Amino acid sequence: MYLNFYNLRKQPFHITPDPEFLYLSPSHKEALAAIIYGIEEKKGFVAIVGAVGVGKTTILRSYLEKADKKRLKIVYVFNPRLSFEGLLKTIYQELELPVESNDVVEMTNRLYEVLIEEYRAGNTIVLVVDEAQNMPVDTLENLRMLSNLETSRDKLIQIVLVGQPEFEEELQQHRLRQLRQRLAIRSTILPLTEHESMEYIRYRLEKAGVSPSAVFTPASLKTIVKKAKGIPRVMNVLCDNALITGFGYRRKPVTRGIAREIIRDFDGLKWPSAGRWWFPALSALTVALIAMAWFLPNQETVFGRIRTLASVEQNKESARVATIVPPPPAATGEAQAPSAAAPQQEAPPAAENPPSADARPGAGAALPSVVEKRSEAVKKSIAHGDTLIKLSREVYGRSDERTLRLIQKNNPQVVNPDVIHAGGMLTFPLLSEEGEGIGR
């Protein structure tokens, strides 16, 4: 996918073992030499041990590809979780031999005859057990039965055991001491050093036909090498993903930032979305801080404006209620109903006996003429800041104790005269000249 973008002839970082890209560090050379010597000199057992991903299988396949196929017959066991009987049947199948009996002794004797024939024909039979640490202990213990198949000079079957460090630990068991003694050649493949890791990546890129500096920056290579810790398979995965990501970003060469991104993906860590998850949160926090910085110094001004607006709304409501109260008719000694035909009412005359300045609540002072002339009860809505005393004075011109009791009597919802709720409606009854209610 990215070959043309980076001018590569072929993919340099295959995950599968590719002998063409085999990079031989000192320990890899030693392992390859051990395999060649053990098989060609017919030493019987060869053990190759190394951590996951260091290139054990690549070394083995590199040898098998270059070996003489006419003289070398390979029995490759990929899944070693077999009983010894199952292992013998696998060998029979690979050598195209019919299984005539399930008895282990008879199968072993028949295999010995076949191996003698191959030996006389100049052929070598090689049994390769990959992931040998997964082979059951009983099967490993019986492998020495195959190593007993020999001539006076050579072993008739060469057995290569390839495993992880756990295989070495397993071989330390007491019951496997005879097999351990038969391991003529052992070799351990070590992780690459930092310098060898750099050379490993450069070697593969040059094999693919491109200069390393045209594909990776030095900083990105250091980042990948540090993460891989000398394991070639990890380096292959990281480099391959870096090239894919760089191709997606149209970035050449691959930068350190891209290397860090694919390492996070390799570790299974989640990256923020393209919109950067922290940006909306930061923006919201910034707005909140700006609002606080403006609001706190101007707190009094803000609340003052709120109170002013509330007062204006209250005055508007009072004016609206006052306009719907019908004006009283002309005085005739007692209240009369207003004429429906009259286009408008005349202004009421001044009261003949206005209340004295020292009139006290309950003293029986006469009602103002504006009240005496009303012919029906008044309904008035309660605005913010209204009290029963205030409304009584607005309607009757006074707020003595008797008047307040009459208002409360006509408004049973008012339990406490000192507490009335805005938004409610009060009924103010028509009063007689003596101040008694005469209707609701």
Q: Give residue-wise pLDDT tens across range 334-379.
A: 444 444 334 444 444 444 444 443 434 443 434 343 344 445 788 8
Instruction: Read off the pLDDT of each residue in 78-86 and give the average, rounded to a whole number.
Output: 93
More confident residue, 341 or 91: 91
Averaged pLDDT score across all residues of the chain = 79
Taking CB atoms within 8 Å and a gap of at least 24, the contacts of 258-264 are 258/220, 259/219, 259/220, 259/223, 259/224, 260/223, 262/238, 263/223, 263/224, 263/227, 263/238
- Residue 52: pLDDT over 60: yes
More confident residue, 323 or 49: 49
What is the fold of 193-266? Helicase, Ruva Protein; domain 3 (1.10.8)
Instruction: Identify whether the C-beta of residue 175 lies closer than 8 Å to the C-beta of residue 144.
Output: no
d(CA 223, CA 397): 91
Task: Give residue 25's pLDDT.
Answer: 94
DSSP class of residue 154 equals S
Task: Give residue 160's pLDDT.
Answer: 95
Which residues in 367-398 are b (16+ Cβ under 10 Å) and which e?
bbbbbbbbeebbebbbbeebebbebbebbbbb
Q: How confident is the model at residue 383 (pLDDT cuts 50, 70, 90)?
A: confident
How many Cα atoms occupy the beta-carbon half-sphere of 354 within 13 Å? Answer: 6
d(CA 375, CA 234): 101
Which region among 208-212, 233-237, 338-342 has the lowest average model confidence (pLDDT)? 338-342
Which region among 197-201, 337-341, 402-406 has the lowest average model confidence (pLDDT)? 337-341
Sign of the CA dihedral 199, 201, 204, 206?
A: negative
Q: What Cα–Cα distance (Å) separates residue 301 from each residue in 189, 298, 313?
A: 79, 5, 18
Encoding tokens for residue 369?
A: 């003429």
Amino acid, single-letter form, for residue 353: N
Q: How many residues make up the chain in this entry?
A: 440
Task: Give residue 254's pLDDT.
Answer: 94
Percent residues over pLDDT 90 in the chain: 46
Instruction: Identify whether the C-beta of residue 150 lies closer than 8 Å to the C-beta of residue 45.
Output: no
Task: Give residue 322's pLDDT.
Answer: 47
- Residue 221: pLDDT over 90: yes
Instruction: Identify whether the C-beta of residue 204 lies closer than 8 Å to the C-beta of residue 24.
Output: no
Task: Give residue 145's pLDDT.
Answer: 84
Instruction: Read off the pLDDT of each residue in 17-44 and give the average, rounded to a whole number.
Output: 91
User: Which residue bears the tokens 């404006």?
Assistant: 305
At a CB cut-off of 8 Å and minimum separation 6, what does 14 contact? 21, 236
Closest C-alpha among 119, 161, 124, 133 to residue 34: 161
| Each residue's pLDDT tens digit, 258-317 | 999 999 998 887 555 444 444 444 444 444 444 455 445 545 444 455 455 555 555 555
| Each residue's pLDDT tens digit, 101-149 | 889 999 999 999 999 999 999 999 999 999 999 999 999 999 888 888 8
Task: Give residue 305's pLDDT.
Answer: 53
Task: Give residue 315's pLDDT.
Answer: 57
More confident residue, 405 or 196: 196
Task: Give residue 226's pLDDT.
Answer: 96
Domain range 26-189, CATH class: alpha beta
**Pairing mode of beta strands 185-189, 425-428:** unpaired
Task: Give residue 126's pLDDT.
Answer: 94
- Residue 428: pLDDT over 70: yes
Task: Give residue 19's pLDDT.
Answer: 82
d(CA 88, CA 311): 103
Hey, is 127 helix, strand or coil? strand
Domain spans in the chain, listed from the N-terminal domain onward: 26-189, 193-266
- Residue 188: pLDDT over 90: yes
Cα 160–Cα 164–Cα 167 angle in degrees, nearest 5: 75
Alpha helices in 41-136 (DSSP H): 56-66, 84-94, 104-120
